[in-house]
A and B are shown apart, each in its own frame.
Chain A
Amino acid sequence: MGEVPVHLTVNGRRRAESVEPRLTLADFLRERCQLTGTHLGCEHGVCGACTVLVDGAAVRSCLMFAVQADGADVTTIEGVASPDGDLSTVQAAFRDCHGLQCGFCTPGFVMSVTAFLRDQPGPTDEQIRQALSGTLCRCTGYQGIFKAVRQAADAGQHGERS
């Protein structure tokens, strides 16, 4: 098929591109937008490394086609810290709690956790673990990640920022 036009906003910036329908949103972000922070760990929707926010919802960008995101507002890992480089509460918590080692899964966790804490600001430990269970990490054993989410959740409750 010929290419299909897509118009969407990525990290606040409007993008207009022409794409093959089969181009995944993940590849669109990485190749067309040159935002390589969204990573491909499995390309079949299990590992979560490719997670981005589409209209605010955490989704696996390898399971969406760019054409499905026409008209959407997408946020990637590159859009989380402030333009000055100030880390978000979630990012700072990951840094403080040694929640990353190789960093490959980290964008997926940061995006998922950011959405999760926004929607569930006072989670129990069990709820945190369940929310984390959709993203895989091979380096940390999830220990630092859990602590980071706990710290970010607790900071959020008290209105603290990084």
Chain B
Amino acid sequence: MKPAPFEYHAPETTADAATVLARLGDGAKVLAGGQSLVPMLALRLAVFEHLVDIGRVTELQGIEVRDGSLWIGAGTTQARVEASDDVASAVPLLTRVTPFIGHFQIRNRGTLGGSIAHADPAAEYPAVALALDATMHVTSSRGARSVAARDYFDGLWTTTMEADELLTGVTFPTWDGRCGFAVEEFARRHGDFAIAGATVGVELDDADRIGRCAIGLIGLGSTPERAGAAEAELVGRSITDVEPDDVGRLAMAGLASVPDDLHGSAGFRLRVGAAMVARAWATASTEARHG
């Protein structure tokens, strides 16, 4: 299975990348780690006249602890995110979700930005970005802008970025205080795309009441989902009054585009999704309560 021919561009700066994308328009596709794009090219499910390889743009690679947040360059590999102590202390949910991304060989090449821009609803990083209200930094020859995660994912494999825009990095807010984080994913085999999964963060006040919580959902829509209504209901309640199974049920309410395919019906995914949320909630709350 060989890809169709394409022209290859390898800019070395963000500005150059933006210029090339502006010039090439719709016929160009950004190549980051290639772990999602190259299989599609090999299967000829997608054909692009131009590939713009951002692998040489060192400005897009990096992890920076900032005030109350963590910036990760779009070109940073998942392996680097997985191994980073800064990520582990600032955004534990990212560290805990990364081992679910495929296999270590994939993570050696796959990038955080690539995963987010590819916007697969069954992927891990988009759900975490949505759950934590991350900010996506986007640039083009027309200038740079920031997009809130809730405004970034637009549909199946679609973001609100323009054709000439490039994701340069993502800023994740850091949670302080009494927090707990957990990820539960159900897949057919280790490393497979999730059939349903949950990424959960819980923060408690000193009286064990839920100060805030974030429930990101994997594989349960045409985009990553967030159980916003469930979160709103949970805020302010005492953690000990909350049954994980109830959280699971609440989180599944209102999901309108649950996938239905060879690996499971929508009904099956909702059932599994509820179990994943429940289990992740139980783990995260235990961590929040006891540290």
Contacts and interface: CB of A to CB of B under 8 A. Distances in A.
14 contacts: A1-B8, A21-B8, A43-B2, A45-B38, A57-B109, A60-B109, A62-B42, A64-B34, A67-B10, A130-B190, A134-B102, A134-B104, A134-B106, A135-B105
Contacts, number: 87
Contacts of A125: none
Nearest to A120: B104
Interface of A: 1, 4, 20-22, 24, 27, 43-45, 48, 51, 57-60, 62-65, 67-68, 70, 112, 116, 130-131, 133-135
A4 B191 contact: no
A112 B51 CA distance: 28
A13 B38 CA distance: 27
B118 to A, nearest CB: 14
A44 B109 contact: no
Nearest to A50: B105
Contacts of B6: 1, 21-22
Contacts of B99: 130
Contacts of B191: 133-134
Contacts of B7: 1, 21
Contact of A131 (B31, B38, B104, B189): B104
Given A1-B5, A21-B51, A134-B106, 7 more contacts: A21-B5, A44-B1, A57-B79, A59-B108, A68-B31, A68-B53, A135-B105
Contacts of B286: none
